[in-house]
Structures are given as structure tokens and as C-alpha cells.
Structure 1
Amino acid sequence: MSAIPMAKITPSTASGGRSNLSRKQKAAIIVRFLLNEGADLELTELSEAQQSDLTYLMGEMGYIDRETLGEVLMEFAHELESIGLSFPNGISGALNVLEGKISPLTAARLRKEAGVRVAGQPWQRIKALPIDELVELLSSESIEVSAVLISKLAVDKAATLLSRLPGDKARRITYAMSMTDQIGPEAVDRIGLTLACQIDDRPIRAFNEGPENRLGEILNNSTSATRDDILESLEQTDAEFAVKVRKTIFTYAHIHKRLKKLDVPAVLRDIDQNDLITALGYATNGDLGETSNFLLENISVRLADQLREGVEDRGAVRLAEAEPAMAEITKTVRSLVDLGDIELIVPEDEDA
């Protein structure tokens, strides 16, 4: 069941009725009923005072008879039906509604002018950050704060994040996690708010991806001669950046190292057989040859024999013919990865 926004069941929504219940008591009845029905209520969206009032009321009210319950629920339903349109309260709420609809620069300027930050639960926002941004966030944080952050993440994401940190820092963080059991919930909330504020204060970037990813994507779609020439030149001018770019490169030569055997049929299923034969006919040596053998060994024997016969009938293949065919295969792999249908194997040297 999807989460129900608590803005619709705050005390102000319950009024009138034949019973002598206050609006706050009626709101508590609605919350109790919805929780009984298995609703996922975002109670954290209420103010701290409202959360306290709700807790005290639920502890004091005892029981409610069916007639009163029905009356309160009917009144609540009537209130909801009478609402035609609801607008957010304040500039912060308006900015959250318009997020992604107005330009990031305009949104940032309005937040700065109004003195507001992005609303929402800070830990939810932090947990949703990609690994690269979490690594960047922890680069300037203390070991203790880092230990709290990693403790809040899902196990698999926490493990991945630790593997991306320098070994010494990762070891100190894991040791500091042994002391997090003494931290109270208020301190954890403050840490979350502080980290969220740092996210908000980061300058807006013109590009969603880093320069190495953008250049890597361009080189993935370039000819091998162009790619090799640019990488060689880049290594002479900026060796560190060249290493980052090389890690983003994914070509036909990398398929046998990165693609899982079980995913080969899914990749080749939608590729034109002429492209397959052309790529296999050219790619016979080195890493290119390793990929060709890998593909043939992980499909049905009948299809592999058909492709080998096609390669033999095709004869010699020129580079100008082979490159578009090999690019089509790697493009298909990347598309399936982007769709989430397959996952590539991460090389060990990228974990360091």
C-alpha cells in the first residue's frame, strides 16, 4: 500500500459532528484506524508538537464504539471529498512540487532568497544518493559521522561504499561503527540534517555526469583509431584523468571480461545476424578474439555453428565494415545495462 501523506489527516481536517470529540481526538482515531488497516502513514511529516499530541492522545483514549468510529470516518471522508485542489504551504513546499519542472538555477536562487532548504526526510535523501556522491560526501567527513551514515544504508549499498573508500579509512569507519550503539536518535537526526544541508549547499553542475563519463561515452562511439589516439594524447597531458576515462570505456574487446555468460543470449537475441557475422569474422585476435570465442561458447550449439558457417562464407572483413558491427553489439549491451535487464561484472581494479 502506498504511503498516505499526513497533511490530509492533521487535526484541522476533523471538525463538527455529533460526538463530543475534539478535532485532535478525531485525527487520532483516523490514524489508529488507518494503521489497523495496514496503511503506510508518513507521520514524520507532522511537526514534533503534532507527533507528541498524537502519541499522548492514542495512549489516553481507551476505546471507541462502532457508531462513533463510523461517524468520524464519514466526516473525514466528506472533508476529503470537498477538497478540490491543495497547494503546498510556503516557498519550500512550492519548490518541492515544482522540482524538475523549473530550472535548477532558478530553484537554487529562490531557495537562497527565501532561506529555505530542500524539504523531506534527510536520511531518505542521503540513502538515495548514488555511490559516487556518497564517496564524495564522506571524503570530508569525520570517521564518526561516516560510521553513522554507513550504518543507515542498506547492507549491500554500505558494502559497496566501503569497498570504494581508501582501505585505512574503511577500517577506521568499521571500528567506529562499534561505538554507534551509544548514539541517540536525536543525534542521528542532527547528523542527517547536517549532511542534507551539505548536499543542498553544493554548487549546481551544468552536467549530470562527470567529465570522464561524458568523454568515455563519446569514445565508446568513436572508431578505434580515434579512441586510441585521444587516449594516448590524454595520457601525456593528464595521466590521472586518462586513467578515469579508460575505466569508463566499454568496447567489443571488453565484453568477455565484463558480460556474464548467462546474459550472452539476451544480448545477441536482438542483433542482426549479418552484424554478428561481420564482427566475428574480423575479431579473431587478442581481446577481440577472446570476446568472439566467449560469445560463441555461450549460445546454443546450433546457433554457434550457423554463425561459424556464416563467418566462413563471408570471408575477409575490413576494419571499416567491422567497427559498426562491433559497435552495435556493445551498444546493445550498454542499453540492456541502462534498462536494468543485465549487470556487468565490475573489474577488481575498479574496487580499489
Structure 2
Amino acid sequence: MTEQYALSGVQRAAVVLLSLGEQQAAEVLKHMGAKEVQKLGVAMTSVGGVSRQEVEKVIDEFVNTLEQPNIGSGADEYVRSVLVQALGEERASSLIDRILLGRNTTGLDTLKWMEPRAIADLVRNEHPQIIAIVLSHLDGDQAAEALKFLPERTRADVLIRIATLDGIPPHALNELNDVMAKQFAGNQNLKSSTIGGIRVAANILNFMDGGQDEVILGAISQIDEPLTGRIRDLMFVFDNLAEIDDRAMQTVLREVPADKLALALRGADAKVREKITSNMSQRAAEMLVEDMEARGPVRLAEVEAAQKEILTIVRKMADDGTIQLAVKAEVFV
């Protein structure tokens, strides 16, 4: 196993769970969200062939990570640091408040912990401006999922309103928060009224399924063509991988499954292929090309799904500060 194809973070977690045994692994999974369970489940079924030596190495790393002297001393800061690293500063803040400060989340913050379909059901009958404010308050992937469940005729209108939001008065945001708080028993301690904007709209569209982003952009262009161009300028698509620096690409390649990479590159621009292979060892690049050629014809939907999965990894790494993306994609940095 070459360095380029070393176990990813999810695969290492899968090895640890498989080593625990069924009962203990099940107890751990109970405390995870649906997305995390799904990712780990897939990883647990695909890490076959890992040598005993590699398993021991993963377990040793895991044990070393657990070593924290003076448990209880400085636990608050430890929990805060872990949550921020895992979720990002903004998304972690409300959870930190609940855990460390004993405060309830605000009405709008509560939405961040709801399923996208439930969010869409909650706001579908509201004015598009209200929907735009609510979606702007969510993370990009969650907002994109919620947008999918809204009527098609509403989506472009909502995206235009998100892109043209330039903050709203604190009292107006508090009033909206009060409406949500009544349903979730939250409070009304909002920290900021600066939400929305072209970057937020671009970020949401980046998480839409292949084709849906173009449908929405097409509808927006009929209303405001210059705005469409400004949104496109801030979107980060698969071909933009050619623009990131070599160190960032090498970091990305350590986290991307080899089979997904081979599939995604079937529909990629030549510049992207060159960027990726030039940041791999010669043997790893040869294996990648061989894998691509051995697959034969594949459906476009499979290629787009693989590209989307890789982009999700890249965006997550950019959000976490692990890598820096090109200036054009500064929405994620």
C-alpha cells in the first residue's frame, strides 16, 4: 500500500470499530449522526485486505490520541477545541453553549440540527424572503438539501434573495428567531445579523446535485443575468481542482478513495488529470490510469456522483482549514 493510498481518516475509524467487536462498535455508532454512520458503514465494508501490521498501527495511533493527562482538568477547553475542529466555529458555537454553558440554542440555530426535509416542510409556506434568511443561516450542504425539497418554482427566487441579502436589522432577525423559538423552546440571543450574499448562494449551489445547479442558474439568468455571472465566479466545481496548489492536492489525495478518483476522472478536464497525476508517485499514477482503462464504459450519473463525493471532501477540508483553495473559491476558505 503506497503512501498515496494509505488509509483515510474514515477508514482508520472503521478499522478501530471493527477491532472493538459488534456490541462495543454498536454503542459507539449510537452517538453518531446518520451521515457519519453511513460513511463508517461503507468504510467498514470496504477495508478488507488490511494487514495485521496495519491494524496494529491504526490501534496504536488511536491509543496515543486518547492519551490525555489530567482528565477533568481543562476539559471545557478540550471539548470546545474538539467541537470547533469537528464542526467549524460557527456551527459548533450553539452546541458549545448547550454543553458548556447550559444555554438553549436559539430558534434559528436549532434548525442546524434538523433534517433538511423537515426544514423545508417548516418553511415551504413562508414568504421567499423568510426562506432565504433561514437557508442563509444554515451550512451550505444542509441548505442545498433543504432547497431540493422546496417547489422547483421557488428555488430560483430564493437563491436570488440569498445572493442579494446584505444583512438584515437585528430586530428583524430577532423577530424571525422568536417565531422559530416558540416551536423549539429556544431563546433570542442572536450574535450577528450578517447573513446571505453571493458567496452563500454560490456555496449552496455547489452542494446541489449535478444538473440542478444549472437549472437554477438558468432561471436566475432570465431575471438577473449579471448576478448569475457573479455567482458562477464564486462557485467551485470539479474542474477547479486544477487551480489548487500542489501541497493542497497531495493532502486531498490522501483522503480520497482510489476507486472514486478513477471514476471521477473519467469525465474530468485534461488539466485536472494532469494536476492529480503530477502529484502522485509514478507507480500510483500508472495504477490510476490502469484502473480507469479497466473499468470500461460507465454511466454519467456515476461519474458525477464520484466527483460530487470528492468535492465534498475538498470543501470539508477547506472549511476545516486543512487546505486553502484558489481565490475564485474563497467562499470556502
TM range (shorter): 0.3 to 0.5
Q: TM-score, normalised by structure 1?
A: 0.39
Which one has a bigger Cα radius of gyration? 1
Q: TM-score, normalised by structure 2?
A: 0.41
**Bigger relative CO (Cα 8 Å, ≥ 6 apart):** 2
